[in-house]
């Protein structure tokens, strides 16, 4: 199987990759980069293309796409700003000690 061949992927995996790719393109990512990221996400979640054989499947972990492009941002912008300010003050205080 040549590199880049998608024949071993299920239809569900192909649809998922297409949907993820559309999301990246909507956010302004170039087509080629969006496709590469989409397949990387599908591979991470499902463990790559499905192989035949009993008992070879693993449960899917969809944590990569459930974030939906968000980094680890929690809270409102004001809360994040306050946390950043507090961290900066702590680092400044500890640097002097």
Q: Give this prediction's pTM.
A: 0.60
Asked if 67 and 58 touch (Cβ cutoff 8 Å), the reply is: no
Mean pLDDT across 53-66:
71
What's the rounded Cα separation, in Å, for the pair 42 and 33? 14
Spatial neighbors of 83 by CB under 8 A, at least 6 apart, are: 75
Instruction: Using a pLDDT cut of 70, give the percent of the chain over it.
Output: 79
Res. 72: pLDDT tops 60: no
Q: Which of 21, 95, 26 is nearest to 65 (CA)?
A: 21
CB 84 within 8 A of CB 75: no
> How would residue 77 be classed by pLDDT, with cut points 50, 70 and 90?
confident
How does pLDDT run across 10-43, given as a tens digit for each residue? Answer: 898 999 999 999 999 999 999 999 999 999 999 8
């Amino acid at each position: 199987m040549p590199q880049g061949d998608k024949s071993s992927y299920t239809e569900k995996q192909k649809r998922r990759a297409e949907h993820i790719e559309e999301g990246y393109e909507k956010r302004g990512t170039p087509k080629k980069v969006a496709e590469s990221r989409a397949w990387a996400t599908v591979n991470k979640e499902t463990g790559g293309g499905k192989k035949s054989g009993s008992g070879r499947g693993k449960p899917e972990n969809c944590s990569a796409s459930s974030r939906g492009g968000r980094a680890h941002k929690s809270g409102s912008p004001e809360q994040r700003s306050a946390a950043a300010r507090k961290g900066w003050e702590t680092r400044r205080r500890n640097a002097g000690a």
